[in-house]
Amino acid sequence: MDFTAQYRWGMSDEIGLDDAYSLKSASDVKRLYSRWADTFEEGFIVEHGYVYHRHVVEEFVRRADLGPAEAVLDVGCGTGVGGVELRRRGPWPVDGLDLSPEMLAKAADKLDGRGEPIYRHLFEANVLEPLVLGEGRYGGMVSIGTFTHGHVGPDAIDQLVSLVRPGGLLSLGINEAFYARADFGTHFDRMVTAGFITEPDLVQVSVYDPAVADHDHVDDTALVALFSPLE
């Protein structure tokens, strides 16, 4: 990374990916996103041509076989761009969960075209700790940008799977470099062998749109892992 890029991403007052990727603990995550919440959408999503949420939701919608009243949980919902996309693309109620109260406050402000809140319920919770949401409560789950460097690794997946009913659908976006580094493949193999989930389909997607973005991470890719819990 050249000096200009380093300045742009990490050493100025502007918060960026280098800050996010170097986090070490849940309290680091909370602190960073409490500072970032106000500028996250304009300064990061729009400015950096972030299109990850569209891809994760697109893959979910393409395969989902859910009743219209079955709810979808957006894990690490942040300011709510995934929820907006989900509500635009399907009839399902959407709940959101995030560690950061400041990011959740932005998600709570999101309204659909009829002035209704995008999110039915929002939960402040850490997915690395026990959750009390109830087994099999959801028909589907998406996650965008949360399985990445400095954030959440494969250990959270077992608990998240238990929140979705057997035969439901999870569409989890995982930063591709982090997928290899944190060995998500071995974790998924173990879950498949134990009979917990179907073999994940892995779809490679772009995180940013190179047509509108010009920065060091513009070519970053993610793998969307699509799978269902088994009985």
- Least separation in angstroms between residue 111's CB and ligand SAM is 17
Cα separation, 179 vs 160, whole angstroms: 17
- Residue ranges of E strands in 45-163: 72-75, 94-98, 119-124, 138-147
Would you say 86 or 127 has its CB closer to ligand SAM? 127
Please give the radius of gyration of the chain, using alpha carbons only, rounded to the nearest integer. 17
Residue 219's identity, in one-letter code, is D
Regarding beta strands 94-98 and 72-75, do their DSSP bridges make them parallel or antiparallel, or are they unpaired?
Answer: parallel
Q: Which of residues 17-56 bind ligand SAM (CB under 6 A)?
A: 26, 29, 33, 52-53
Instruction: From 144, 224, 172, 160, select the one nearest 196 (Cα to Cα).
Output: 160
Please state the closest distance from residue 126 (CB atom) to ligand SAM, in A: 4
Q: How far is the CB of 184 from ligand SAM (least distance, A)?
A: 16
Number of helical (H) and strand (E) elements in the chain, helices listed first: 9, 7
Nearer to ligand SAM, 152 or 174 (CB): 152
Helix (H) or strand (E) holding 203: strand 201-206
Cβ at position 58, least distance to ligand SAM in Å: 14
Contacting ligand SAM within 74-113 (CB under 6 A): 76-78, 81-82, 98-100, 103
Site string for ligand SAM, 150-189 (x = CB under 6 A): -xx-------------------------------------
Residues that bind ligand SAM in the complex, under the rule CB under 6 A: 26, 29, 33, 52-53, 76-78, 81-82, 98-100, 103, 126-128, 144-146, 151-152
